[in-house]
């Protein structure tokens, strides 16, 4: 059977490497006569198209503005749901409730947040990242105002549920944006930045809320939260163009090229223009270059992609949404694929690593008031909130080490493997962070149980929690996305649902479990 263009190239590369190129495997170096578009010494994966509006070709300024706006959404949407921990005492008093009842404010928001991504990710795939960010920030804005004015338990719970619906994109959309605008060799760093800002918001929230609740009342925290959501919404509107960019599957490219070059029945050399390809030559070129595999013969990068690092968004990328010819099909696929992905060991592994890493951090959030507001500590809400600085410092250590370390481990293994990068190569970077997570769990569990000095629990236990929660989820989600890039959004939904169901279970049972059995068994 005659092979198409891409199959031929792939077969030649496999012959030169004497290795099979499986999905998820990337060629990170030139192979024999096959040359790729490069950025510095790196082969660029994925290969950018020769289009100035391709997000991979955007200038550093546009990429910086875009990722700043995206990060602001992740940070502001994450700030509210876990900010309640130091304020539990005030809610118990004002709403005439018990500790397990007010802890449900956090648990229910987390549970709804995970499942809300069955709405947001299909919309993001079908109509773009930009409309999802705008709509979700508006919902979070409304929920924050509602929390500030809530008069009773039921009303505040309703605001928490709405907040959970609106805050879903914080956990799923930015990894897709990172894959849209950054090349493979940079993603480890940017995914770590994302995780630290998102998880950092969960750490900063209690610091701010505890202090504000003590000095100006808990309602003013939610007015402050409203203000920063407004700032983030304005950043998205004016700094975040659409990043979703359709890169044609090789089968689509071959089909389009064969149709465009079809010979007319009269044996003339005149090409027949297929009905599904536009008659506009410029648009035809666009259609074919969006996904075509570049000519792999020796050619300068500047000639192959003259817009690399110099591109900018088009006017169309600033529209409120991107039209989709088959929105229903895209939405149905995005609803089904996350469930299907649970059958894949890589996804299952990543989902549970993220779940257990984040639950180690969530545990500290849920037990802060229970442990430190009681004797022998008797701390107020501000002091309890300030303990989260240790987690934040740990997360910054994770930021400084995990991304560069995992990229270095992966790059070193790639060089040893003759320039072929396998997604699994970054997994050995997890080892030190798993040991740190275990140390933190032991210190907090036994420290709280035996009432150690608070300095030991906070400085060692809380800092370890921050380091591992910045590192482990970033490493394994990068690994999973590298393995299954075409379904990155659905992949994050699967991971998020798993994590948040696990987190909801902890929030539902941990406080009463601790009251009955102590801190060691649940932790």
How does pLDDT run across 450-488, given as a tens digit for each residue? 999 999 999 999 999 999 998 998 889 888 888 887 787
Strand partners, 421: 26
pLDDT given for residue 167 in this prediction: 96
H/E stretch holding 26 reads strand 26-27
Q: Which residues pair with 27 in a beta bridge?
A: 420
Share the mean pLDDT of the chain.
83
439 with 217: CB under 8 angstroms? no
Chain CA centroid to CA 419, Å: 27
Question: Which one of 113-117, 251-255, 263-267 scores highest in mean pLDDT?
Answer: 113-117
Residue with tokens 């092979």: 3
Report which DSSP code applies to 31: B
305 close to 57: Cβ distance less than 8 angstroms: yes
**Structure tokens of 201?**
């918001």
Across the range 434-448, mean pLDDT stands at 96
Mean pLDDT value of segment 351-375: 92
Structure confidence at residue 418 (pLDDT): 72
Closest CA to 523 of 445, 454, 414: 445
Cα gap 275→262, rounded to integer Å: 12
**Which pTM does this prediction carry?**
0.77
pLDDT band with cut points at 50, 70 and 90 for residue 499:
very high
**373, two tokens:** 């507001």
Distance from C-alpha of 222 to C-alpha of 212, rounded to nearest angstrom: 10
DSSP state of 168: G
Instruction: Give the span between the Cα atoms of 501 and 343, in whole angstroms.
Output: 18
Among the ranges given (54-68, 293-307, 356-370), the one the predictor scored with the smallest mean pLDDT: 293-307
User: Tokens in use for 58?
Assistant: 């955007």
- Determine phi and psi for 263, rounding to 5 degrees: -90, 140
Question: What burial letters (b/e) apply to 134-155, b meaning 16+ CB within 10 Å?
Answer: bbbbebbbbbbbbbbebeebee
Question: Reduced to 3 states, what is the DSSP secondary structure of residue 263?
Answer: strand
């Amino acid at each position: 059977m005659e092979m198409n263009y891409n199959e031929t190239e792939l077969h030649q590369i496999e012959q030169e490497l004497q290795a099979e190129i499986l999905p998820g495997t990337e060629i990170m170096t030139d192979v024999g006569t096959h040359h790729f578009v490069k950025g510095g010494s790196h082969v660029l994966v994925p290969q950018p198209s020769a289009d100035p509006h391709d997000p991979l070709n955007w200038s550093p300024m546009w990429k910086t503005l875009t990722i700043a706006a995206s990060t602001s959404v992740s940070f502001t949407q994450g700030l509210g749901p876990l900010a309640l921990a130091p304020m539990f005492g005030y809610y118990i008093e004002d709403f005439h409730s018990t500790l397990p009842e007010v802890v449900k404010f956090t648990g229910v928001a987390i549970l709804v947040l995970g499942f809300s991504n069955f709405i947001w990710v299909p919309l993001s795939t079908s109509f773009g990242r930009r409309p999802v960010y705008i709509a979700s920030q508006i919902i979070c804005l409304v929920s924050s105002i509602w929390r500030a004015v809530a008069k009773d338990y039921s009303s505040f719970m309703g605001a928490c549920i709405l907040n959970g619906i609106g805050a879903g994109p914080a956990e799923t959309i930015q990894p897709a944006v990172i894959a849209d605008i950054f090349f493979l060799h940079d993603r480890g760093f940017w995914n770590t930045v994302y995780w630290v800002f998102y998880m950092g918001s969960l750490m900063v929230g209690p610091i701010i809320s505890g202090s504000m609740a003590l000095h100006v009342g808990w309602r003013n925290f939610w007015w402050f939260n409203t203000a920063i959501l407004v700032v983030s919404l304005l950043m998205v509107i004016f700094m975040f163009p659409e990043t979703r960019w359709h890169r044609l599957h090789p089968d689509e490219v071959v089909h389009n090229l064969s149709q465009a070059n079809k010979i007319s029945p009269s044996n003339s050399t005149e090409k027949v223009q297929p009905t599904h390809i536009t008659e506009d030559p410029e648009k035809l070129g666009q259609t074919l270059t969006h996904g075509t595999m570049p000519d792999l013969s020796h050619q300068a990068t500047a000639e192959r992609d003259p817009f690399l690092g110099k591109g900018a968004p088009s006017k169309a990328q600033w529209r409120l949404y991107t039209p989709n010819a088959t929105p229903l099909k895209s939405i149905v696929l995005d609803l089904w694929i996350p469930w299907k992905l649970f059958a894949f060991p890589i996804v299952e592994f990543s989902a549970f690593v993220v779940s257990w890493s984040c639950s180690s951090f969530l545990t500290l959030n849920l037990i802060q008031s229970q442990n430190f507001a009681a004797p022998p500590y008797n701390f107020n809400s501000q002091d309890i909130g300030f303990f989260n600085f240790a987690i934040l410092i740990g997360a910054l250590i994770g930021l400084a080490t995990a991304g560069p370390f995992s990229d270095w481990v992966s790059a070193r293994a790639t060089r040893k493997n003759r320039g072929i990068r396998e997604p699994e190569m970054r997994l050995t970077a997890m080892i030190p962070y798993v040991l740190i997570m275990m140390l933190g769990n032991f210190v907090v569990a036994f420290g709280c149980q035996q009432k150690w000095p608070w300095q030991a629990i906070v400085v060692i236990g809380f800092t370890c929690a921050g380091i591992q929660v910045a590192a482990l989820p970033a490493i394994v989600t990068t690994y999973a996305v590298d393995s299954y890039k075409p379904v990155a959004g659905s992949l994050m939904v699967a991971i998020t649902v798993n994590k948040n169901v696990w987190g909801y279970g902890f929030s539902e049972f941990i406080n009463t479990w601790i009251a009955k059995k102590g801190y060691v068994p649940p932790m």
